[in-house]
Structures are given as C-alpha cells and as structure tokens.
Structure 1
Amino acid sequence: MHESFKALLPLIIPEGVSDYFQLTDHKKDTSGIHIYLEEINSTPVEYKTSKLLSKGFFDEVILQDFPIRGQEVYLHVKRRRWWNLDTGKVVHRDWRVVATGTRITSDFAAFLKAISRYPAA
C-alpha cells in the first residue's frame, strides 16, 4: 500500500478502528470507494485466559460510511472467529466489552453498533 494512502486512512475510517482492524485492500469504481478491513488476530480481552486458535472469518459485512467528495464510501468488514480449545466452541470478540469502560469516539461507537447488527454466523 502506498504511504500516502496510509496517511489518509485515519481520515477515512473511524478513529479506533485501526486498533482492531487492518486495511487489506482498497479500490475505487463507479459505485464509489471501497475499503477492505479484516479484524486483527489479537486475543479478545474476554478470552485472555483461554487458549484460542484463529479459524478464519465470518462472512464479510458491508457498511456504508460518510461520502467523501461526492463519492460513496463502503467499508467491507471481516470479523475474525476463534476456536476456544478449552470449551470446543467458536468465539468472537464481544464489541460491547470493547466499548464498556473506554473512551471511544462517536464514529467508532457508530462503527461498533453497525457491525454488531450482524450476528456471528
């Protein structure tokens, strides 16, 4: 990724998103600007004492964000899932836990609210 795009990224995605997601791709087409984000492989705080094994991602969720210079902006978000070796169940980050007790921006709160609308499959 070009360094100038990395410098602009904080202006495009909500503040705090880069703490949990990494940019994997971007493109511009006739429908607008598409930003692709994948959740990083860091153990969720609510499972810090469990043994987790990353098992890929849930289906991609597409969120429409604020337009930039008249261009629609779409965030393509892939949430990670882990296999809990202690319980034998699939787990994922609980975004309510991330928001609790933290000082987050209204943009990041809106982002968390939007991705929480989609249940983990």
Structure 2
Amino acid sequence: MDQPENLWKIYFCSMQTGYELLLPEGFLNYFEVVEVDTLEKVIILHLDEKVLSSEENKDNQFISKGFYPPTDIHDFPLRGKSLILRVRRRWQNKLSGNPYMRDWSVIAGGTHLTAEFAAFLKALS
C-alpha cells in the first residue's frame, strides 16, 4: 500500500504536469501555482514567483521584502471561461531598488495578454 508521502508525490506530479500543459511554456520555471479560483465566468490561477537560484543571485544583489501587488495576465479561455494568471513578483535589486525582472517574453509588449494569446487575437482581426 502506498504511503501518504508517496501519494502526495504522485498527486503533486500530476498537478504539476497539468499546469505545464495549461500555462505558457517555461512559466513554471519562475512561478508556482499557489491557489486556483473558479468563478462563474473566470478562472484565476494565483502564481507566486519562486526563490531565485544560487546562479541568478550569485552576487547576492537581490532581496525579497514580500510580494509586489499582483499583475493580471490574460491567457486563452479555458472551458468557456476567461483565464487570468495573477502573478506576484518578489525580488528587488538592492542597489537600484527596482524590481528584478527575469528575462522571459510571456507578455506581449504594451498589453496584459500572453504573447501567444495576443498573436491569436491579432490573427483574427
């Protein structure tokens, strides 16, 4: 019989795989899903920025003093509902005081849409 910790690993692995299929490629490298709200017309995935790797913070130049206010990113609808990725970043550059932005191109410039969703909408117009 499976031990509770093994069942948790199986559950976590299947949830992680499900989120990988749902979210933009590479998104889970930087964020973890911490909550899901399913409302009448919208699904909100709450994602918190992960801890920086030792390579990313090798000079110890970034600090975390909690999370910045969340940003909503709209992605492809899911099961007839709007899908919102509500992300919270946490890292700040010690010297400049500016938020640390990892180099990822998930958001289309000048929008709150994922790049893939923005390209899809542009192709429709």
TM-score (norm 2): 0.64
CA distance in 2, matches of 1:15, 1:73: 16
What CA deviation, in whole Å up to 9, does each residue of 1:48-101 have, x standing for no partner? 3134331111111111110112121011010113362xx3x4243234xx24xx
What CA deviation, in whole Å up to 9, does each residue of 1:5-25 have, x standing for no partner? 333101211111111111111
CA distance in 2, matches of 1:94, 1:7: 25
Higher RCO (CA < 8 A, seq sep 6+): 1
Q: Which residue of 1 aligns with 2:24?
A: 14
Match of 1:25 among 22, 35, 39: 35
Q: Which residue of 1 aligns with 2:107?
A: 111
Larger fraction in strand: 1
Distance 1:41 1:48, change over 3 A: same
Correspondence list, 1:81-96, <5 A: 81-82=91-92, 84=94, 87=95, 89-95=96-102
Residues 30 and 50 in structure 2, CA contact (< 8 A), matched pair in contact too: yes
Identity across matched positions, percent: 24
Provide structure 2 residue ranges, at least 5 long, that are not aligned to the other structure: 1-7, 113-125
What is the one-letter code of the residue matched to 1:65? D
Please identify runs of 4+ aligned residues in structure 1 that moved more than 4 A. Answer: 112-115
What is the one-letter code of the residue matched to 2:76? F
Correspondence list, 1:39-50, <5 A: 39-42=49-52, 45=56, 48-50=58-60
Residues 55 and 83 in structure 1, CA contact (< 8 A), matched pair in contact too: no
What is the one-letter code of the residue matched to 1:78? R
CA distance in 2, matches of 1:5, 1:27: 15
Q: Secondary structure at the match of 1:90?
A: coil
User: Rg larger in 1 or in 2?
Assistant: 2
- Root-mean-square deviation (CA, aligned residues, Å) is 2.7
Q: Which residue of 1 aligns with 2:123?
A: none
